[in-house]
Amino acid sequence: MAHTIFDKYREEEILNADPVQLVDMLFRGAIDAVGAARRHLAAGEIRPRSRQIVKAWEILLELNRSLNHSQGGDLSRNLASLYAYMQTRLMEANSSQSDPPLLEVERLLTTLQEGWQQVPSLEVSAQEEREPLSCTC
């Protein structure tokens, strides 16, 4: 349930987004979380840093779950491997309290988002039933 005007806006944005836009939002959320984790790390704020790393890790898990391996072939398998690698690097950053793995993940996510933004959005009519998010990569 939306608590603030921003929350209400975000909820509407998500509910009205097509699958391409949803994946873009997930990338944006993961990038924001990693950036916040880096800021918390620099400030010595352990608990907020860990929360942001876990948030990014969970977004990567959702991105991985959205892959359609039966249609995506090598690309979806490669993305799954990359998501798993980034999750590992996030956990390394959290346990070692070091910035280089976070920076690496942030750069990888930014590159993926830039590529994803080249995918045209899908037009979905208001009468169409929306299917669960599924990436055919």
Give Cα separations from 50 to 19, 34, 44, 65, 75 (angstroms): 29, 10, 11, 22, 30
pTM (two decimals): 0.80
Does the domain at 17-114 match CATH 1.20.120.340? Answer given as yes
| Structural domain spans, the chain | 17-114
Tell me the pLDDT tens digit for each residue of 85-127: 999 999 999 999 999 999 999 999 999 999 988 877 655 444 3
Please give the Cα distance from 120 to 7 (Å, whole number).
26
The reported pLDDT for the residue numbered 126 is: 40
